[in-house]
Chains A and B, each alone.
Chain A
């Protein structure tokens, strides 16, 4: 054994054997003293003198004992024990202080850990797939489509096949159909009533590419991905639980999908990476394979997801695909130079929209943490000031500065540790809410959890807070404490524990107010942006509008015999103002087709091609949705397959083709046929409130095939009544139609706004917390000075100062502090406003009204913080104040 290690272990043991070891030492020292005395007496020294000399030779027994203890034990550990016990007593005695400090810390640490988890899940952590940095999307690069449109990202089957055959940079390329949810299907399980279900069409190998491991059963196998495919499906965990009751023998069961029997071959895991990444906040029920043959000769309907070969960069893959694409453009029919193959890392693509707001949120959370830290530091200083006398006494009794420093640091560390535990609880709650609130449309958000990284982060910020805010004040206080004589005298007189402390606290409070003001301005801007988004004219009236999904998977000729009676019956229901049918529900469904200018019906060569969002609708749909008809007429039931093909276009598209405003009666080429423009309607923000206005066109459903439709109903009836009425009305017409999905249009609009609303709520919450903390800080320091100056105030009142004068002096002091903070805060907001620009909507970074509002909010907080102490000051009884002490 090594002596040093032996010694360490022995010292550790000694800590726990203190009484026995002390007794041993005492006996040795007694023996020493007696033996020494006896020796001296033998040498002829008189007994009394011998005893005294022996004591002198041995030195102080206390010193010997202390030295012995420090040598044999671990003084640092023992002192830590003392400090912890002392802290425990102290916190028990000053419960109010402890509770406030711990709460403040818990809020700051909890919020920051939550935001970190959010940022980590959505932005930092790699996609939960194998080799995430090599997973890319190959988009079509068709610029004609509006944002959020999938048509600019999707490819045709032969493009996929060509890229597969000719690329040199990909391990594999898979796809899914981003338009899957346009079409919904009735699923019937064991003869139960069919329910509208959301199916996504994927390539056979996509889930394997994404590294998905099924919870039950298996993934699709190659045989299921060739030819016409096989009638098999994978169901989601959610469908398995809800429709199959979690049946352990679900594999192999048969369900009827729109009447066709399908065999369940697998259950997706509860953490469905695919859905979380591509369909956040959507309910997916099942996955079905689409084979290349299924989509032969279709348009751009496949979104390609590929994995690069190891070591290949997206840029070199891009060059590789560009080369392959150039060759294909010359070989494949109906392709023009607009078709490209752009490689983008999937993670960047998924998070592009949410990145700036999340980064801003992190900054905001950091500011809250800084305020929390300042506040905590201020609280420690405040308490230290009231502790000044105790510290001075301890210093006078021989406690070194290091010892006092250590004691003070132990106190703050204990507070921080308890605060962090509270913080973890808060973060766990917030994260749980975020993960469960599947209505927030942020990719990967549903995977948010408190993981090791979040805990490490939490430990880091806690340690930082403890060190920065614990050690600073402790250092300061230990200096005050060890300037023992003056401190003792000062506190004996009941004077302040030094103006230096108060100055430091004032600085901290000014800092808090500054950060809170900056946050208040950010929150104001965020709220104004949200208001602007909510006020936007969507082009249709979402309020009082409901959508009922009708899975009318039948031939075009059979649609009118179904829709006409439905529309007649629904329109006749009491309380229903209007109804119509569309195959392109705003926000959720989306598709663009090409359209070119013809002019007269005789022209054969179309020019000026562009893309436009296509909506196949019934007569009366535009009025049911509240879309204004600007010129011409709506469709009628006469616009059927036997009549000339007609089209409605929106103003934006009309301006593109007909800047002179003579659109009505002219012809355009679209969907393979010329169509006559019979009307012009208002633009809509189809893809969501924050989307831009794009080209839109409407076909009558009698002249164009389509899949699922939505029956749009305008009514003020409550949802439950409406649902009941609709079930009765439709059952009379066709009892097999599922009436399961009746949704208020506002719900969809809200979902589109959900990420903005969440961010706004968080920033608003941060600002509210920041303002409260700043107010608390202000209150703390003002209340403290009032207490310290009770005597002075008493004297002034005895000399004739009015209560009003005292009150306004205290309030003035508060507002002065707040004013400095406010000035700094406004400067900070102006300086950092650029960070926010990506989040703003319809409002400038410098918005005088919002700045004024923030000034008002801070002033109100300051006023509130100063009011109570000023009232207390004005109620000081001069006699009592002067007699005290």
Chain B
């Protein structure tokens, strides 16, 4: 993990490394599959109510424990993507430490997507589970 972060600081290769960090990651951390971050953010907002970027990141790391490698900077890309799609809304407000912060909240459309994505994810996980535990497969 340390080596990875070191590389990330070289400005012009960050994007490339972000896209390819799967290969460089230590094996004990879970890789964030494309799209899973969006789902996590939606679920976090559904659970906590309106929240700023740091709060969302903290919550995901807390629940994921040591199993998730989250580059917290990437969360803002997910937030703007969700906001542009109309799944969440954003508003400036004041945080606990009395600072100006942008608060994100789930919209009706976001709630619908969360339900759909959750069901979808459960089915995928279920299928994967069945395939991986089927007789004859090595495990």
Interface residues of chain A, those whose CB is within 8 Å of chain B, are: 1, 3-4, 6-7, 10-11, 14, 24-25, 27-29, 31-32, 34-36, 38-39, 56-64, 66-68, 70-72, 397-398, 400
Contacts and interface: CB of A to CB of B under 8 A. Distances in A.
A61 B73 CA distance: 7
A10 B72 contact: no
A1 B52 CA distance: 26
Contacts of A14: 84
B95 interface: yes
B76 A29 contact: yes
B80 A3 contact: no
Contacts of B80: 68, 71-72
B14 A62 contact: yes
A398 B73 CA distance: 21
B94 to A, nearest CB: 11
Contacts of A63: 8, 11, 14-15, 18, 71, 73
Contacts of A58: 71-73
Interface string B74-109: 101110110111110000000101011110000001
B138 to A, nearest CB: 36
Given A63-B14, A71-B81, A28 B74 contact: no
Interface stretch (B25-33, B53-61, B128-136): B53-61
Contacts of B122: none
Contact of B58 (A11, A28, A39, A61): A39
Query: Looking at B18, B54, B81, which has the most chain A CB atoms within 10 Å of its CB?
Result: B54
A67 B77 CA distance: 6
A3 B87 contact: yes
B23 interface: no
A12 to B, nearest CB: 10
Contacts of A62: 11, 14
A59 B21 CA distance: 13
B8 A397 contact: no
Contact of B102 (A24, A38, A70, A400): A24
Contacts of B71: 58-59, 63
Nearest to A31: B101
Contacts of B11: 60, 62-63
A29 B73 contact: yes
Given A29-B76, A36-B72, A72-B77, 5 more contacts: A32-B57, A59-B74, A67-B76, A68-B76, A70-B77
A29 B74 CA distance: 11
A67 B15 contact: yes
Given A28-B76, A60-B8, A35 B87 contact: no
Interface residues of B, number: 37
Contacts of B95: 31, 35
Given A28-B53, A31-B101, A59-B73, A7 B15 contact: no
Contacts of B53: 28, 31-32
6 contacts: A29-B76, A34-B99, A59-B5, A60-B8, A67-B74, A72-B84
Nearest to B113: A3
A36 B97 CA distance: 11
Contacts of B9: 60
Nearest to A9: B84
Nearest to B55: A35
Query: Looking at A4, A63, A68, A71, which has the most chain B CB atoms within 10 Å of its CB?
Result: A63
Contact of B18 (A3, A31, A67): A67
A59 B84 contact: no
A6 B86 CA distance: 7
B14 A35 contact: no
Contact of A1 (B5, B72, B86): B86
B74 A64 contact: yes
A63 B8 CA distance: 8
Contacts of B57: 32
A28 B90 CA distance: 12
The 10 closest A-B pairs by CB, nearest first: A64-B73, A398-B12, A63-B14, A10-B84, A59-B73, A71-B77, A3-B85, A59-B71, A72-B80, A32-B54
Contacts of A72: 77, 80-81, 84
A145 to B, nearest CB: 80
Given A32-B53, A35-B95, A6 B85 contact: yes
A59 B5 CA distance: 7
B115 to A, nearest CB: 15
Contacts of B58: 36, 39
Contact of B12 (A1, A28, A59, A397): A397
Contacts of A68: 76-77, 80
Interface string B19-56: 00000000000000000000000000000000011100
A414 to B, nearest CB: 26
A71 B19 CA distance: 13
A398 B74 contact: no
A63 B5 CA distance: 11
Given A36-B54, A67-B18, A71-B77, A56 B5 contact: yes
A53 to B, nearest CB: 11
Contacts of B102: 24, 27-28
B39 to A, nearest CB: 15
A31 B8 contact: no
Nearest to A400: B16
A617 to B, nearest CB: 92
B53 to A, nearest CB: 5
B10 to A, nearest CB: 8
B72 A59 contact: yes
B112 to A, nearest CB: 10
Nearest to B70: A57
Nearest to B84: A10
Given A7-B84, A11-B84, A56-B5, A25 B76 contact: yes
Contact of A57 (B18, B72, B101): B72
A400 B11 CA distance: 14
Contacts of B72: 32, 36, 57-59
Contacts of A70: 15, 77
A63 B7 CA distance: 11
Contacts of A397: 12
Nearest to B2: A56
A38 B97 contact: yes
B18 to A, nearest CB: 6
Query: Looking at A14, A25, A400, which has the most chain B CB atoms within 10 Å of its CB?
Result: A25
A255 B109 CA distance: 83
A35 B18 contact: no
A27 B101 CA distance: 8
A34 B72 CA distance: 13
A38 B96 CA distance: 11
A68 B58 CA distance: 19
Contacts of A29: 73, 76
Contacts of B76: 25, 28-29, 64, 67-68
Contacts of A400: 16
A681 B77 CA distance: 98
A70 B83 CA distance: 15
Query: Looking at A34, A60, A66, which has the most chain B CB atoms within 10 Å of its CB?
Result: A60
Contact of B15 (A10, A28, A66): A66
A67 B74 CA distance: 7
Contacts of B113: 3
Query: Looking at A14, A29, A36, A68, which has the most chain B CB atoms within 10 Å of its CB?
Result: A68
A64 B78 CA distance: 11
A200 to B, nearest CB: 71
A14 B80 CA distance: 10
Contacts of A10: 83-85
A59 B81 contact: no
A59 B8 contact: yes
A524 B53 CA distance: 78
B82 to A, nearest CB: 9
A22 to B, nearest CB: 12
Nearest to B90: A24
A633 B127 CA distance: 114
Contacts of B16: 398, 400
A682 to B, nearest CB: 88
